[in-house]
C-alpha cells in the first residue's frame, strides 16, 4: 500500500473539522515564542544575575537550579500542550491513555482552562511595557547598564504574545467544536 501524505480522517492527529490554516502553524510556533524566555532564565539557576541589580544579599537557596530548570520545562510543556487545540488528541483522547483512551474530550474541558490560562498569561506578562516606562506604579528591575537591559527585553518580550496566541487558538478550537 503506498504511503499518502494527505491527512487521513481516521488518523489520531486528524480533527473532526479542519482547523483554520493559521492555527496549526501558530500552535507549532508557540514553543519557539517562549523559548528565548526559558533560555534567559537558566543562568539565574546558577547565581548569574545577567546584569540585574541585585538589591538583596541573600544567598541563593539550594533548590534554585531545580526550580528554574523545572519552571523552564513546565513553560515549554504548557506551550506544547496548546497543540491539542489544533490536533485530534484535543478532541478525542488517544487510545493508548489508560482508562479514558478513546473517549471524546468535552469542548468545555479544553476551552475553559485554555481561556483562563490565556487571560492569566495576559495579566502576568502584558504589563511589562508598563514597567518599562514606569506607568501606573509598575517598576522594572534595574540593570547595571543598557547592554544587559537590551538582551533581557529581546529575550523576555516574545512571551507577551503567549496569552493572545492561546486565546486565538482557543477561539479557533471553540469555532471548530461548537454544535453545527
Residues 21-52: pLDDT tens digits?
999 999 999 999 999 999 999 998 888 888 88
12 found inside a domain: no
171 found inside a domain: yes
**Rounded alpha-carbon distances, angstroms, from residue 7 to 43, 101, 114, 135, 176:** 42, 21, 26, 50, 17
Q: How many domains does the chain have?
A: 1
Which residues of the chain register pLDDT less than 70?
Answer: 1-13, 54-58, 132, 134, 137, 179-180
The grid coordinates listed for 127 are: 504589563
- Taking the CA atoms of 31, 36, 40 and 46 in sequence, report the sign of the dihedral they define: positive
Give CA–CA dist 162/101, Å, rounded: 29
Give CA–CA dist 94/85, Å, rounded: 14
Report pLDDT for 6.
39
Report pLDDT for 7.
43
2 found inside a domain: no
54 found inside a domain: no
11 found inside a domain: no
CB 161 within 8 A of CB 33: yes
Report pLDDT for 55.
55
How long is the chain? 180
139 found inside a domain: yes
pTM score above 0.75: yes
Give CA–CA dist 147/134, Å, rounded: 20
131 found inside a domain: yes
Report pLDDT for 50.
83
5 found inside a domain: no
Which residues span the domain enclosing 140?
Answer: 22-49+61-177
Report pLDDT for 142.
78
Amino acid at each position: 500500500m503506498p504511503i499518502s501524505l494527505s491527512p487521513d480522517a481516521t488518523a489520531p492527529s486528524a480533527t473532526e473539522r479542519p482547523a483554520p490554516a493559521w492555527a496549526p502553524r501558530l500552535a507549532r510556533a508557540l514553543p519557539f515564542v517562549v523559548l528565548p524566555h526559558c533560555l534567559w532564565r537558566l543562568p539565574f539557576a546558577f547565581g548569574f544575575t545577567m546584569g540585574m541589580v541585585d538589591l538583596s544579599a541573600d544567598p541563593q537557596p539550594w533548590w534554585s537550579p531545580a526550580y528554574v530548570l523545572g519552571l523552564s520545562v513546565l513553560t515549554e510543556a504548557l506551550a506544547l500542550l496548546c497543540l491539542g487545540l489544533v490536533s485530534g488528541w484535543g478532541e478525542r483522547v488517544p487510545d493508548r491513555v489508560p482508562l479514558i483512551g478513546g473517549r471524546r474530550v468535552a469542548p468545555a474541558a479544553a476551552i475553559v482552562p485554555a481561556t483562563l490560562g490565556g487571560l492569566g498569561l495576559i495579566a502576568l506578562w502584558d504589563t511589562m511595557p508598563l514597567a518599562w516606562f514606569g506607568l501606573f506604579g509598575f517598576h522594572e528591575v534595574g540593570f547595571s547598564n543598557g547592554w544587559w537591559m537590551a538582551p533581557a527585553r529581546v529575550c523576555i518580550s516574545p512571551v507577551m504574545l503567549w496569552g493572545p496566541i492561546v486565546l486565538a487558538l482557543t477561539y479557533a478550537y471553540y469555532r471548530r467544536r461548537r454544535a453545527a
